[in-house]
Amino acid sequence: MQGAFEVTEESFADLCFDFGLELDEVTSEREIAAKERGVDAAKDLSERVIFKVDIPANRYDLLCIEGLVRSLKVFKNLMQAPLYTLSFPKALPQMTMTVHKSVAEIRPFVVCAVLRGVTFDKERYDSFIELQDKLHMNICRRRTLSSVGTHDLSTLTPPFTYEALAPKDIVFTPLSQTEEMDGNKMMEVLSQHQQLKAYLPIIRDSPIYPVVFDSKRVVCSLPPIINGEHSKIRLDTKDVFIEVTATDLTKANTTLNTVVAMFSQYCKDPFQVEPVEVVYADDYPANTFVKGGDRITYPKLDPRPMVADIGRMKQALSLEKLSSTEVRDHIRRMSVPCEVDAKDSNNLNVQVPITRSDIMHECDLIEDLAIAFGYNNLKAEIPQTKGNAGEQPVKHLTDLLRISLANAGWTEAYNWALISRKENFDQLRRQPLDEDVWKKDAALRSGYIANGAPVVLGNAKTKDFEIIRTTLLGGILKCLASNTHLPMPIKIFEVGDIVVQEPTMEVGAKNIRRVCAINAGHTAEFSKLHGLLDQIMNQLKCEPKHEAAKAAKPRRPFELTPSQDPAFFPGRQAHIVVDQVVVGIIGELHPEVLGSKGFNINMACSAFELSLEPFLDWL
């Protein structure tokens, strides 16, 4: 923004506030070094002013000086947001990266791009490296989800391959090292490295390591750990080859797009990027995103179309007096190209650019409109509210049940919603229903079921937390197994949510509130548990079927009908049925569930589990 206006600490702080940022600190290289290493170490350093700006975690485009300055220029109407385009080579064949089957089991995805005719200087080079480090710590989640490798293309010979080999078969000179070494020795050497040692556990225990080769079998990088010294980026580098390997393809695309968007401005043809075709081998195992034989061109620079309701945006901020064109102009100042729909002036046709991956919903555009209009210009009015705050019905019912169960002598447990597959299914002798059957059968999903299709964590850190529970029984038995030293009988209950897949919901899953109780002792004492169930059903305005007609006030009839749940002992279990709707199960638990193959509980147990959702409509 040099030449646009004089930048002072005060004016820059105001500009940051106007743009929705915060100026964190104003310092200098000398002041920073003096704090860290002492005055003597800092005496020869520059006193050039350094502004430290606090950047939101989801604004990856502001993590380097190039992106920040560009966005502020657009915000101040000093330039238009750039258009990023692909530049296909004319004299050269299109570059390719072939992905081998072997990487599917360790780091399955790679996306690539080339920046041609880049002009680096010391500041640009430092910013280039610093952006990669910040992305690694942010969106890449310390390189576990994705990692960036950048190379001097003039030192390499395309095409490239992405493979996975045994550590002893990967021999190269790592970046900033002078000795050639294999993968095993590299791990030993880098275990003493101050920064890189933190990333070694990502692949160290794997029998194979991912590696990127050029056509002459020169090692470009061993992701996500380190690049090769051979293709190191230098100040005189002109053509930059970028590869991003990942376990998450979405994060890989966002990472690549951020790097090329920020530094393509230094190319011979600014904001033009040369694509690379990623070719998946024919025997590559299919997954949700790719399959063998796919040929995909990266980077994907096309903006994402989106339609926003201008009236709703203005109403959310009490800006009804703004015209549609004024809303459009404000959104454009946030580096988001858009046009008012020619047929309907209340619709804003937005082209979300690759730099704004944080825009996922209309509410994100409302935030941008508030920033561009000016927080200080918004009316400071308290909106009129109607009605009184109150509990959700399911929450109110839950609290009443907790009090009732506690007063009956049962102790409440509060377990993790995350659980392992083994504890949720195998140890209960249950098998999850086939996902296709589950998703197609709406009637099946609407009733009580103990083994519905679970929601699976994509990147579980531990086997103890692989899925979200589909039953409370596994968690309460795990709790009981940890408390078998207590005097018998042990009576525990839990009221909480289970989660199952639900294709009709926006998020693809739904929560269901349930209550589960267990009685453990020398004998199962089923009568005690049955008495507790009768008490609950009475409070839920239900009566045993044979007595419901005799009640002074009409009540819903419930009964116990035979069931075949493998978690319970055959012939000693029953479904809980209310008005011909199965709402739960009760019975004595199977010995294998309690034995060494299950939860290793040396007691007899009876239990019931009941869905509360149906009662919300009945009460």
Mean pLDDT of 497-516: 90
- β-sheet bridge partners, residue 530: none
Give the per-residue pLDDT at 1.
42
Tell me whether strands 272-280 and 95-99 are parallel, antiparallel or unpaired. Answer: parallel
CB 445 within 8 A of CB 425: no
What are the CB-based long-range contacts (under 8 Å, 24+) for 315-321? 316/363, 316/366, 317/366, 317/369, 317/370, 317/373, 317/378, 318/378, 318/379, 318/381, 319/369, 319/373, 319/378
The dihedral region occupied by 312, where left means phi > 0, alpha psi between -120 and 50, and beta the remainder, is alpha
What DSSP designation does 110 have?
E
Q: Distance between CA 255 and CA 70 in Å, rounded?
A: 18
Listed range (123-132, 192-201, 442-451) with the worst mean pLDDT: 442-451
**What's the pLDDT score for residue 387?**
67
The residues facing 219 across adjacent strands are 213
What amino acid occupies position 12?
F
Q: At what angle do helices 362-373 and 324-332 cross, to 10 degrees?
A: 90
**What single DSSP character describes residue 197?**
G
pLDDT of residue 503: 87
Cis peptide before 299 (omega within 30 of 0): yes
CA dist list (Å): 239 to 3, 233, 280, 398: 31, 9, 25, 63
Rg (C-alpha) for the chain, rounded Å, is 31
- Dihedral pair phi/psi, residue 270, rounded to 5°: -55, 140
- Which region among 89-93, 477-481, 530-534, 578-582 has the lowest average model confidence (pLDDT)? 89-93
| pLDDT score at 550 | 65
Instruction: Compute the mean pLDDT over every residue in the chain, rounded to the nearest whole number.
Output: 90
Domains of the chain: 85-298 (3.50.40.10), 307-376 (3.30.56.10), 393-618 (3.30.930.10)
State residue 436's pLDDT score.
Answer: 86
Cβ proximity of 494 and 446 under 8 Å: no
pLDDT higher than threshold 50 for residue 2: no
Q: How far apart are CA 40 and CA 394, in angstroms?
A: 66
What letter does residue 452 receive in the DSSP assignment?
Answer: P
Q: Are 100 and 278 in contact (CB under 8 A)?
A: no
Residue 210 clears pLDDT 90, i.e. is over it = yes
One-letter amino acid of 537: M
pLDDT digits (tens, 9 = 90+) for 189-200: 999 998 999 999
Q: How many residues does the chain have?
A: 619
